[in-house]
């Protein structure tokens, strides 16, 4: 059975992941801004907020958190290492490039294989000069759809998966049904769809659209609980219950996409726009609601423990 690399340089059996939040962030920052204007940032405050969020999830039994922060949004393995030391929670990091439109000239001018090589380096050697290996590769598509560079980054992620066997976890935008573009490209690239997560599908409560994606055999991320501006909690929860009722329990994953720090907006705007967003909302509000609607503990364990494990596990052993 394949081992899962964790932050700090160790590795665990997939069975050791336990209760897992599969799509969160410890810190999301804009690299070019931070590099040039470090005075705008407060590293210690960001660290305190990350530890607070991870400890909150830990109190509800979370043993593993997958940090979807990749290149482009401030991936920093040393920051995550400090959070692991402070909390004792397993953190898993990945490769990938986060963009809605363009890649840096470095990769644009060298072509797709240069990006594949960078991802494979993170997976096989380690991230940012450390011995922490990437355990997954991320692919991203959003409202601008399939730009030339976005397609290059998605194909590079797919090829890194084919070369190394790591799962693909994705960010998609439901407004233009770009989730389906990911599936199409993955098929062209020979990706094992059972090892992919189509993320942010839970921003929609169009059950027939979600089932169209599920029928491809992928995992679907209902992974933005608390981000009410995209879809309110109640509608996310009802969609989850309906998908379980229809028999999709083996293919759904829950998470918050929570960012203890996100520099895209002033902090007070984040606080006032999404006041309930946290790394514990699923445990506080969603799971109790699922239970009262007849979802069993076995089904809850399937979604929070078994599905993250089976999406991380290679099928051939
Ligand atoms: Zn995310």
Q: For residue 2, what pLDDT is reported?
A: 87
User: Strands 11-12, 4-5: parallel, antiparallel or unpaired by DSSP?
Assistant: antiparallel
| Dist. CA 47–CA 230, nearest whole Å | 27
- 189 CA from centroid of ligand 1 (Å): 24
- 257 CA from centroid of ligand 1 (Å): 5
- Is residue 254 within 8 A of residue 303, CB to CB? The reply is yes
Task: Please give the model's pTM, rounded to 2 decimal places.
Answer: 0.97
Rounded to the nearest 10 degrees, how much is the dihedral formed by the CA atoms of 110, 147, 220, 137?
10
Q: Rounded mean pLDDT of 259-284?
A: 97
- 9 CA from centroid of ligand 1 (Å): 23
- 262 CA from centroid of ligand 1 (Å): 11
- 153 CA from centroid of ligand 1 (Å): 16
- Is residue 255 within 8 A of residue 277, CB to CB? The reply is no
- 22 CA from centroid of ligand 1 (Å): 10
| Dist. CA 25–CA 226, nearest whole Å | 14
Residue with tokens 């979802």: 295
- For the segment 140-183, what is each residue's pLDDT rounded down to a tens digit? 999 999 999 999 999 999 999 999 999 999 999 999 989 999 99
- 317 pLDDT band, cuts 50/70/90, is very low
A 10 A CB-CB count for 143 gives 10
- 209 CA from centroid of ligand 1 (Å): 21
- 3 CA from centroid of ligand 1 (Å): 24
- 129 CA from centroid of ligand 1 (Å): 24
> Domain map of the chain by residue range?
4-312
Q: Which two tokens stand for residue 234?
A: 């109640």
Whether residue 316 is predicted with pLDDT greater than 80 in this model: the reply is no
- 198 CA from centroid of ligand 1 (Å): 12
- For the segment 223-239, what is each residue's pLDDT rounded down to a tens digit? 999 999 999 999 999 99
- 187 CA from centroid of ligand 1 (Å): 23
Strand segments, DSSP code E, in 25-130 are 64-67, 90-92, 95-96
Q: Rounded mean pLDDT of 72-96?
A: 98
| Dist. CA 35–CA 46, nearest whole Å | 16
- 298 CA from centroid of ligand 1 (Å): 27
- 246, 194, 252, 245: which is closest to 223 by C-alpha? 252
- For the segment 276-304, what is each residue's pLDDT rounded down to a tens digit? 999 999 999 999 999 999 999 999 999 99
- 261 CA from centroid of ligand 1 (Å): 12
CATH H superfamily, domain 4-312: Metal-dependent hydrolases (3.20.20.140)
- 68 CA from centroid of ligand 1 (Å): 6
DSSP state of 4: E
Please give the C-alpha separations between residue 249 and each of 116, 214, 263, 307, in angstroms, as whole numbers.
Answer: 33, 11, 35, 9
Whether residue 315 is predicted with pLDDT greater than 90 in this model: the reply is no
- Is residue 171 within 8 A of residue 142, CB to CB? The reply is yes
DSSP state of 71: B
Whether residue 93 is predicted with pLDDT greater than 70 in this model: the reply is yes
- For the segment 186-208, what is each residue's pLDDT rounded down to a tens digit? 999 999 999 999 999 999 999 99
Q: Which two tokens stand for residue 265?
A: 């907006």
Q: Rounded mean pLDDT of 33-51?
A: 98
């Amino acid at each position: 059975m394949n081992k899962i690399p964790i932050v700090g340089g160790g590795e665990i059996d997939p069975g050791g992941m336990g209760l897992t939040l599969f799509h969160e962030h410890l810190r999301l920052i804009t690299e070019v801004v931070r590099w040039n204007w470090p005075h705008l940032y407060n590293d210690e405050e960001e660290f305190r907020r990350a530890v607070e969020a991870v400890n909150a999830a830990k109190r509800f039994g979370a043993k593993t958190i997958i940090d979807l922060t990749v290149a482009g949004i401030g991936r920093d393995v040393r920051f995550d290492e400090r959070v692991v030391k402070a909390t004792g929670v397993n953190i898993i990091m990945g490769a990938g490039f986060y963009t809605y439109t363009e890649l840096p000239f470095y990769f644009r001018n060298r072509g797709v294989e240069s990006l594949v090589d960078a991802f494979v380096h993170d997976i096989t050697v380690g991230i940012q000069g450390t011995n922490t290996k990437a355990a997954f590769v991320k692919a991203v598509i959003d409202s601008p759809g399939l730009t030339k560079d976005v397609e290059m980054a998605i194909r590079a992620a797919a090829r890194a998966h084919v070369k190394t066997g790591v799962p693909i976890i994705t960010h998609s935008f439901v407004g233009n049904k770009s989730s389906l573009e990911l599936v199409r490209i993955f098929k062209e690239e020979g990706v094992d769809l059972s090892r992919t997560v189509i993320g942010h599908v839970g921003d929609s409560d169009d059950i027939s659209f979600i089932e169209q994606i599920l029928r491809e055999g992928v995992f679907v991320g209902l992974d933005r609980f608390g981000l009410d501006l995209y879809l309110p909690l109640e509608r996310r929860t009802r969609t989850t219950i309906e998908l379980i009722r229809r028999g999709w329990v083996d293919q759904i994953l829950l998470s918050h996409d929570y960012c203890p720090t996100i520099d895209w907006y002033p902090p007070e705007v984040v606080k006032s726009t999404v006041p309930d967003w946290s790394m514990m909302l699923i445990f506080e509000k969603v799971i109790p609601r699922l239970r009262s609607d007849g979802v069993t503990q076995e089904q809850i364990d399937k979604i929070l423990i078994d599905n993250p494990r089976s999406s991380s596990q290679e099928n051939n052993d």
